[in-house]
Amino acid sequence: MNDTRTLPWYRTITSIQWKSLLAAKLGWMLDAMDVMLYAFALTTIRDEFGLSSAQAGALASVTLIASAAGGILFGYLADRIGRARSLMYSILTYSVFTALTATSGSVIELVLWRTLVGFGMGGEWSAGSVLVSETWPAQHRGKAIGLMQSGWAIGYILAALLAAAIMPAFGWRAMFVVGLLPALLAAWIRRNVPEPELWREGRKSQKLLPTASIAEIFRPPLMKKTVVATCITTSVLFAYWGLFTWIPTFLSTPVESGGAGMTIVRSSAWIIPMQIGAFFGYNLFGFLADRFGRRPVFVVFLVFAAALVPLYGQLGQDELLLMILGPLIGFFGHGYFSVFGAMLAELFPTSIRGTAQGLTYNAGRAVSALAPFTIGALADVYGIGSALGLTSAFFLAGAFLIFLLPETRGKELV
């Protein structure tokens, strides 16, 4: 029998652990695809419905606000009915309502469907990240969350490819119909992914104890962790959604309006290298965080993101530099997200973990819903390239706040 200490780390992971990671990764990947379809259709939708940039950004904000509510709700459900079951329901939610977006005949209908997409979008991360964190061993938890988070980059690339292949020939509505496909993943999860043993044992013990209340995370000793973690997620999510909701539009906006002046098909070709950079950023962050700690790696990524964004927004017609900087923006502008699934799980106990992760991450997402609107409003006045530079301040705020939380690398979950 092989000594696990001499095996490569990936040989020590069980089939159940790999299946749990695969379920969460694919769910997150398809979540990204469904959500980012709107970003690629933003210019077309704005023109069809006669919206300003601020109004079009507000529609993206509606989805983020709903995703915050959905993330909190599904985090609560993950503690009550199970991590895998909640993941399955969240995937069904966002896939069905993404497809129904194609039926929108008015702004009101568009708002309705994008709101309901948001509920599932927020819920997927809350359930999936807890599922992975509780299933994988402590020494490899950062790697697992990084691998899960990298699904977002793949989903973003899929959205870019779909936009380039479908929109020019069939229009934006046909593109959203494809968003129904993730529903198939829910059926696979139901048959193949069990609930984590840590959660099942916790539920057994709670038969003799009261179920943990959400109020617990707002009382000592958890209150400080809750408040600081929420402030961190608010800062970086504002920066992220303010930047990446508008990058496709920045690339396709005329140069005289502060953009790069590309066509939709051409801008997709610039987005894909950026998301390849993001893919490596997510994965490498996890490996580095398991080796050096959550905090130092998080700070490095955010500082580089803050430095690169203003430069990228001012490049205008310089397509070569946009192509060169794109993967770096993707790498540093996405990779730090891999900290949250691991670190938040390590800050809170099993009985309240889903609720705590869902609330701290998604309360930040609710506030960050102002970002697409804010950047859109500034773009109407100063040009979109200059407006994107605002996000740097929020990247730096997140880098500062992380020092108010303890280092959790290698912590066993209880």
pLDDT of residue 210: 47
104 or 256, which is more confident? 104
pLDDT of residue 330: 93
User: What are the φ/ψ torsions at residue 369 (nearest 5 degrees)?
Assistant: -60, -20
**If pLDDT is split at 50, 70 and 90, which confidence band does 253 have?**
confident
DSSP 37-81: HHHHHHHHHHHHTT--HHHHHHHHHHHHHHHHHHHHHHHHHHHHH
User: Which range of residues forms the domain containing residue 353?
Assistant: 13-203+211-404
Q: Would you put residue 293 in left (φ > 0), alpha (ψ -120 to 50) or beta? A: left
User: What are the φ/ψ torsions at residue 406 (nearest 5 degrees)?
Assistant: -70, 155
> Percent of the chain beyond pLDDT 90?
52
Say what angle helices 319-334 and 264-292 make with each other, to 10 degrees.
40
Cα–Cα nearest to 253, from 156, 376, 394? 376
Question: Is the pLDDT score of 106 beyond 50?
Answer: yes
Average pLDDT along the chain: 88
Question: Is the pLDDT score of 348 beyond 50?
Answer: yes
The contacts of residue 194 (CB under 8 Å, 6+ apart) are: 16, 84
- Examine residue 8 and state whether it is found in any structural domain, yes or no: no
For residue 259, which amino acid is it?
Answer: G
pLDDT of residue 54: 75
CA dist 252 and 41 (Å) reads: 11
For residue 327, whether the previous peptide bond is cis, meaning omega lies within 30 degrees of 0, is no
325-339 pLDDT tens trace: 999 999 999 999 999
CA 311 to chain centre: 24
Q: Which of 35-44, 220-229, 261-270 has the lowest mean pLDDT?
A: 261-270
Cα–Cα nearest to 301, from 321, 285, 280? 285
The contacts of residue 200 (CB under 8 Å, 6+ apart) are: none
CA dist 73 and 214 (Å) reads: 11
Say what angle helices 107-135 and 53-81 make with each other, to 10 degrees.
40
Q: Which of 65-69, 298-302, 356-360 has the lowest mean pLDDT?
A: 65-69
8-65 pLDDT tens trace: 899 999 999 999 999 999 999 998 888 888 878 887 888 898 888 778 777 777 887 8
288-303 pLDDT tens trace: 999 999 999 999 999 9
- Examine residue 3 and state whether it is found in any structural domain, yes or no: no
How many Cα atoms occupy the beta-carbon half-sphere of 68 within 13 Å? 21
- Examine residue 68 and state whether it is found in any structural domain, yes or no: yes
Cα–Cα nearest to 175, from 35, 348, 379? 35
Do 176 and 97 meet the contact criterion of CB atoms below 8 Å apart? Answer: no
Q: How far is CA 257 from CA 54, 82, 95, 355, in A?
A: 14, 49, 34, 43
- Examine residue 2 and state whether it is found in any structural domain, yes or no: no
158-209 pLDDT tens trace: 988 898 899 988 999 999 998 888 888 988 998 999 999 999 888 777 654 4
pLDDT of residue 65: 85
Domain containing 365 — which CATH number?
1.20.1250.20
Question: Is the pLDDT score of 212 beyond 70?
Answer: no
Domain count, the chain: 1
Structure tokens at 105: 């005949």
pLDDT of residue 209: 45
- Examine residue 7 and state whether it is found in any structural domain, yes or no: no
3-state secondary structure of 409: coil
Go through the chain and tell me how many residues it has.
414
DSSP 306-361: HHHHHHHHT-TT-HHHHHHHHHHHHHHHHGGGHHHHHHHHHHS-GGGHHHHHHHHH
Do 74 and 88 meet the contact criterion of CB atoms below 8 Å apart? Answer: no
pLDDT of residue 258: 66
- Examine residue 6 and state whether it is found in any structural domain, yes or no: no
Helices (H), 102-222: 107-135, 141-170, 172-177, 183-192, 197-205
Question: Is the pLDDT score of 110 beyond 60?
Answer: yes
pLDDT of residue 96: 93
Q: Would you put residue 220 in left (φ > 0), alpha (ψ -120 to 50) or beta? A: beta
The residue-averaged pLDDT of 296-314 equals 93
- Examine residue 410 and state whether it is found in any structural domain, yes or no: no
- Examine residue 39 and state whether it is found in any structural domain, yes or no: yes
Do 338 and 278 meet the contact criterion of CB atoms below 8 Å apart? Answer: no
CA dist 279 and 263 (Å) reads: 25
